[in-house]
Amino acid sequence: MVIKKPRIVIIGAGMAGLSAANKLFKCAVSKELFELLIVEGGTRIGGRIKTSEFCDDRIEMGATWIHGIGGSPIHQIAQEINSLESEKPWECMDSLPDEPLTIAEGGFKLSPSIVEPINYLFNKLMDFAQGKSKSIEDGITNNHEIDFSKIANEFLNAGENDVSKSLSLGSFLRKGLDAYLDSRKEDEVVNFQGSWNRKSLESAIFSMLENTQRTYTSAGDLNLLDFIAESEYRMFPGEEITIAQGYFSIIESLASVLPPDTIQFGRKVSKIEWNPDVQTTSVMENSGNNGYVSRPVMLHFVDGSSISADHVIVTVSLGVLKHEVCQDSCFFSPSLPKCKIQAISRLGFGVVNKLFLQLNSKHDQDGNNSINRFPFLQMVFHQEDSTIPWWMRRTASLSPIYSKSNVLLSWFAGEEALALETLSDEQILDGVSATISDLMPYSQFNCNGTVSSDHTSNGEVKFGKVLKSTWGADPLFLGSYSYVAVGSSGDDLDTMAEPLPKLGLDENPYPLQILFAGEATHRTHYSTTHGAYFSGIREANRLLQHYKYSNDV
């Protein structure tokens, strides 16, 4: 047996994997403490971060926002590398307008006096569910005061008295809406535009806001989200911003300190053999120095190659873990402990996709754009026999990626996000065009966000190129990000983060063989890039502490 350096292999070159590698290398660079290797199944670094370009505009196909700048490590890195400003425009560089244009199916423009009370109600309900407020003092509007504490108590008591009742965020929100609608007097139920009454219109507006919330969480249905866990989720204070030079600049910065050949591409893992039993013989590897070293983990790749390791940090998505572990595959050999398999199974992992559309512009003889700018459009749907396709009816908005851009963006979650991946560009263009034609027939867009009637062909909206993300179909991810589903809890996120075997467990001489990182392993910041970052740092520190090295950088 010869003296050898511990070999650490990180599976995945996304935010979690690169933050772990960055931490380990910067600590170990002077002492050469470890052999460090990242194996990436794809052909690029970044994982679910993918900055791209479309029609000469910078866009994000994956992660888009810094969720709060106060205390965010992503914001700190972006400041340090000066990536928050750019001469070239970028996605969502403008703040959203104070009064977006909201149009109901059939071409009815909704005034803020109709939309804002429901928006206020929805936000108040979300604040209460997330633990940001415990009561309400100023009511909703028009003397429709809602006691959220009473609603929540009744909601929770119903769940305690009847275990079949689902304590989901979606059912809580609907209970709040019902209480608001029931508080109306009979004379307030009036017809609107001939076919809608006030209550049905407000319910449709509420559904629009639910559709937006689904894209925030990746849950295809808000009834899938656990109500109790919602209050554990944390956001940083301050505004939410995008990164002018692209989210990929953060990834590049983390990877820039690593030596050449640290990252190996096209290395998709097919099996992880580990050693939970002290009686099991570990892998013996020829050191090349007339001796052998003992390593407890063996990684096998789809190309038939393999490599041994002392420690493996697994950063694959929860979607991949669900596919591999919950399908009774032999991805882990022996299989993971029952508690970890159950956590993987109970937690939710959804799909969110983005659709980018080029808005065709007509120009006059001087080359000036003759079509007024597209507004920030909120869409309210209600008719069952509409020509609008079902997958468009589940999105909430369509808007330019910044104020002067001819690139429009819409978000999709759940079943319609998966359906979007299967549609051709022609089918998408037909569906979006049908939607716009219904909402704003022969309309022309004014710069102040209003719509003026124009029954000439000059007002017709036409689209050019199409670009969509396809996170659900990508075998390296099989979705977008995690959520705490009904029947799961924050404890499952903690279980996800537990290494195998744990230190002191049956005095196994090979502790910390498999460590887990990624956004789905962080109890309070799951679903975010900063959650992934924190998890990578956590596992790097776990190894540094195990070897009693200082983790100060």
Per cent of the chain over pLDDT 70 is 81
Omega cis (within 30) before 296: no
Whether 487 has a pLDDT exceeding 60, the answer reads yes
Whether 457 has a pLDDT exceeding 80, the answer reads no
| Closest residue by Cα to residue 34 from 45, 21, 19, 17 | 21
| Closest residue by Cα to residue 387 from 442, 357, 441, 431 | 431
Tell me the pLDDT band of 453, cut-offs 50, 70 and 90. very low
**What is the average pLDDT value for the chain, to the nearest integer?**
85
C-beta separation of 184 from 164 below 8 A: no
76-130, pLDDT tens digit by residue?
A: 999 999 999 988 888 877 666 657 899 998 888 899 989 999 999 999 999 989 9
Full-model pTM: 0.90
5-48, pLDDT tens digit by residue?
A: 899 999 999 999 999 999 999 987 656 789 999 999 999 999 99
The whole-number pLDDT of residue 426 equals: 96
The whole-number pLDDT of residue 161 equals: 54
C-beta separation of 413 from 219 below 8 A: yes
Of 205-214, 370-379, 528-537, the one with minimum mean pLDDT is 370-379
Whether 306 has a pLDDT exceeding 60, the answer reads yes
Per cent of the chain over pLDDT 90 is 64
SS3 label, residue 57: strand
* CA distance linking residue 367 with residue 363, whole number of Å: 5
Average pLDDT over residues 151-176: 76
SS3 label, residue 105: coil
DSSP for 206-273, please give it: HHHHHHHHHHHH--SSGGGBBHHHHTT----SS--B--TT-THHHHHHHHTTSPTTSEEES--EEEEE
Q: For residue 392, how many C-alpha atoms fall within 13 Å in the half-sphere facing its CB?
A: 26
170-194, pLDDT tens digit by residue?
A: 999 999 999 898 887 654 555 565 5
Q: Which helix (H) or strand (E) holds 308?
A: strand 306-309
